[in-house]
């Protein structure tokens, strides 16, 4: 009886943390199945008022019935509507890409060499920008 009273006073974040621990399911797997990052899940452990819809969803993921910890919790609590999945596309264009440029095929060796040198220059410029970014983020 004392254990049950203690659980009632414990905030929800600690309860879900204990449930995940006892389930044996890795945090990364739980986070992935919930559609959140590991950091978000760890932040949930610190919250005292987590929505019951999230707790129910977590219970489904780790196969845990939270009605023991939350007696008033029932399956009638409205679950959050899942976000629609992003449409699958076969295009290799990224959102910031413009219209595809027409690729001109050249049979001329000089044109091929010139195109290769142009691409090499772009590649080197991209690597330099990437290195600058790495230096800025490492400070």
pLDDT in tens, 79-97: 455 556 666 655 555 555 5
Phi, psi of 32 (to 5 degrees): -65, -45
Residue 15, both tokens = 């309860």
State pLDDT tens for residues 96-120.
555 555 666 667 888 888 888 888 9
Q: Is 11 left (phi over 0), alpha (psi -120 to 50) or beta?
A: beta
* 56 vs 11: CA distance, rounded Å: 16
Predicted TM-score of the model (pTM): 0.47
The per-residue b/e assignment along 43-55, b for 16 or more CB within 10 angstroms, e otherwise, is ebbeeeebebebb
């Amino acid at each position: 009886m004392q254990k049950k009273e203690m659980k009632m006073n414990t905030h929800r974040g600690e309860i879900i943390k204990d449930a995940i621990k006892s389930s044996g399911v890795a945090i990364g797997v739980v986070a992935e199945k919930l559609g959140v990052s590991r950091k978000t899940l760890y932040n949930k452990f610190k919250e005292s008022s987590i929505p019951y819809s999230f707790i129910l969803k977590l219970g489904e993921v780790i196969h845990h019935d939270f009605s023991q910890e939350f007696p008033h919790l029932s399956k009638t609590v409205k679950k959050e509507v899942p976000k629609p999945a992003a449409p699958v596309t076969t295009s290799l264009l990224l959102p910031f890409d413009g219209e595809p440029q027409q690729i001109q095929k050249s049979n001329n060796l000089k044109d091929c060499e010139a195109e290769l040198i142009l691409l090499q220059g772009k590649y080197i410029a991209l690597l330099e920008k990437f290195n600058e970014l790495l230096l800025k983020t490492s400070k």
